[in-house]
Amino acid sequence: MAALSDRMRALVQPRLADFEPYDPAFTPTRINLSANENTYPMPAAVRAELDRALAATPLNRYPDPMSGELRAAIAERHGVEPRQVCVGNGGDELLFNFLFAFGGAGRTLLNLPPAFSEYELFAQMTETAVVNVWRDPATFEIPEDEALAAAAEADLVIVTSPNNPTGNLIAPEFAERLCAACRGLVMVDEAYIEFARPGASVQPLLERCPNLVILHTLSKAFGEAGIRCGYVLATADVIDVFAAVRQIYSVNVLTQAAGLVAIRERAAFAPVVEKIRAERARMLAGLEGLTAGAIGAVVWPSEGNFLLVRLPGAAEIRRRLRDDYDILVRDFSAAPGLAGCLRITVGTPEENDAVLRALTDLVKGETR
Ligand SMILES: *Cc1c(COP(=O)(O)O)cnc(C)c1O
């Protein structure tokens, strides 16, 4: 997207002069596997319940600022107190508020890239300095000793598990050591945790790590990216800070109603998540078959609802997938540490078949 106008560059706070309007690189396509959304239809009974809940929600009153009912249901889901939950307008709002409240000028965030690009963006917006400890370029595993040493010098840590876009998990023991090493707060972003193997969540650490913050979202496993609902779990005094800095009415009444249905009816999503995990294994095998024949091509295993694949000519393959096959995937080939990489969301069996067929055509074309 275009840079800001000279007039605006002169008017905005100087540190924002190089910011640009966000470009989601979105083009309408038949098959969109670019944003890690859940592309399965919502279970019909849940959708019916949700429609009833929305229809019964008055719109003339301001929302409950702290989303009381939803907060209680979330607390019940995770076995914590409602005071340990803060709901936000998507996980994004909470990420921003985390850096806004606990970062700022003179503070340092430890980031473990390649990771979610918003961490650095929000750090810049809030004048928080960023220290990057890069993941291993071949496996995307975190160099743990180096990260722990950096955590001891940092005011904040954000670690993503499963990591977007690489799919790696951290061991809960490592999260615990990060919490012990860092004098400030450690956020573990579990946006994709429902897709990971059982026991992967750092949730059991909440009781003994008072500086742990866990981020969740309803945008991925629960198929509600459009309603914008995420939440953090932490000790009650940390939650008080989130409650103090938030836009009072950021979580609107429809979002609260839709979020409540998703949390209450969560068991109905388990078969969808199971199906996505099975499709992920099938896609991994399919992509492995494809990359085995192509020099410089790699596919990484993933604990999320997406796969990262390195392909020669990735940017061109992504363009042709879009223009010739009407399939959108995410191009990371120009991102630091991700040369030649595309991220493909695991979709429905039909969508995944279409991706594998198209990629087989294109990769054969590239290596011919
Ligand atoms: C999708 C995502 C989120 C949260 O997304 P929202 O839609 O704002 O709830 C947070 N972290 C990561 C790594 C994500 O991929």
Rounded mean pLDDT of 201-220?
Answer: 98
Q: Given a cut of 80, is residue 197 above it in pLDDT? A: yes
Rounded mean pLDDT of 307-322?
Answer: 96
**Residue 1, pLDDT score:** 58
| Statement to judge: residues 94 and 154 lie in one domain | yes
Ligand 1: nearest atom to the Cα of 230: 9
* Any domain includes 179: yes
Mean pLDDT across the chain, nearest whole number? Answer: 96
| Statement to judge: residues 103 and 193 lie in one domain | yes
**Residue 291, pLDDT score:** 87
* Number of domains composing the chain: 2
Amino acid at 133: V
Q: Which of 217, 240, 264 marks a domain boundary?
A: 264
* Any domain includes 229: yes
The CATH number of the domain holding residue 212 is 3.40.640.10
| Statement to judge: residues 317 and 342 lie in one domain | yes
Map residue 231 onto helix, strand or coil.
strand
* Any domain includes 234: yes
| Statement to judge: residues 77 and 152 lie in one domain | yes
Q: From the centroid of its chain, how far is CA 153?
A: 26
Rounded mean pLDDT of 24-31?
Answer: 84
| Statement to judge: residues 200 and 289 lie in one domain | no
Q: How far is the CA of 37 from the centre of ligand 1 (A)?
A: 10
Percent of the residues in the chain that have a pLDDT greater than 90, as a whole number: 92
Q: How far is the CA of 189 from the centre of ligand 1 (A)?
A: 8
| Closest listed residue to residue 181, CA positions, set 156, 216, 213, 207 | 156
Residue nearest (by alpha carbon) to ligand 1 atom 5? 91
What domain range is 237 assigned to? 44-264
Ligand 1: nearest atom to the Cα of 95: 10
- Among 220, 222, 302, 343, name the best residue to mutate to test ligand 1's pocket (greatest count of ligand atoms within 8 A of Cβ): 220
Ligand 1: nearest atom to the Cα of 189: 11
* Any domain includes 332: yes
Rounded mean pLDDT of 77-105?
Answer: 98
* Any domain includes 4: no
What digits encode the pLDDT tens for the residues 278-294? 999 999 999 999 988 78
Rounded mean pLDDT of 139-144?
Answer: 98
* Any domain includes 136: yes
Residue nearest (by alpha carbon) to ligand 1 atom 2? 191
Q: Which of 229, 248, 264 marks a domain boundary?
A: 264
| Statement to judge: residues 96 and 232 lie in one domain | yes
| Statement to judge: residues 179 and 296 lie in one domain | no
Percent of the residues in the chain that have a pLDDT greater than 70, as a whole number: 98
The CATH number of the domain holding residue 299 is 3.90.1150.10
Residue nearest (by alpha carbon) to ligand 1 atom 12? 191
Q: How far is the CA of 91 from the centre of ligand 1 (A)?
A: 5
Tokens of 18: 């190089």
| Statement to judge: residues 184 and 112 lie in one domain | yes
* Any domain includes 32: yes
Which residues in the chain belong to E strands, given as ranges? 31-32, 85-88, 108-111, 129-132, 156-160, 185-189, 212-217, 230-233, 298-299, 306-310, 327-328, 330-331, 341-345
Q: How far is the CA of 303 from the centre of ligand 1 (A)?
A: 15
Ligand 1: nearest atom to the Cα of 92: 8
Q: Which of 224, 243, 264 marks a domain boundary?
A: 264
Query: For ligand 1, which residues put their CB under 6 angstroms from it?
Result: 36, 90-92, 116, 160, 164, 189, 191, 217, 219-220, 225, 230
Q: What is the pTM of this model?
A: 0.97
Sign of the Cα pseudo-torsion (1, 16, 114, 164, in order): negative
**Residue 366, pLDDT score:** 58
| Statement to judge: residues 216 and 352 lie in one domain | no
What digits encode the pLDDT tens for the residues 215-249? 999 999 999 999 999 999 999 999 999 999 999 99
Q: How far is the CA of 30 from the centre of ligand 1 (A)?
A: 23
How far apart (Å, rounded) are the C-alpha atoms in residues 302 and 166? Answer: 7
What digits encode the pLDDT tens for the residues 324-363? 999 999 999 999 999 999 999 999 999 999 999 999 999 8
CA distances from 118 to 78, 95, 134, 162 (A): 26, 8, 16, 16
| Statement to judge: residues 213 and 283 lie in one domain | no
| Statement to judge: residues 217 and 186 lie in one domain | yes
The more confident residue out of 24 and 302 is 302
**Residue 82, pLDDT score:** 98
| Statement to judge: residues 329 and 352 lie in one domain | yes
* Any domain includes 218: yes
∠ Cα 113 115 118 (to 5°): 115
**Residue 368, pLDDT score:** 47
How far apart (Å, rounded) are the C-alpha atoms in residues 234 and 253? Answer: 24
- Among 22, 166, 219, name the best residue to mutate to test ligand 1's pocket (greatest count of ligand atoms within 8 A of Cβ): 219
Rounded mean pLDDT of 143-148?
Answer: 98
Ligand 1: nearest atom to the Cα of 220: 1
What digits encode the pLDDT tens for the residues 245-261? 999 999 999 999 999 99
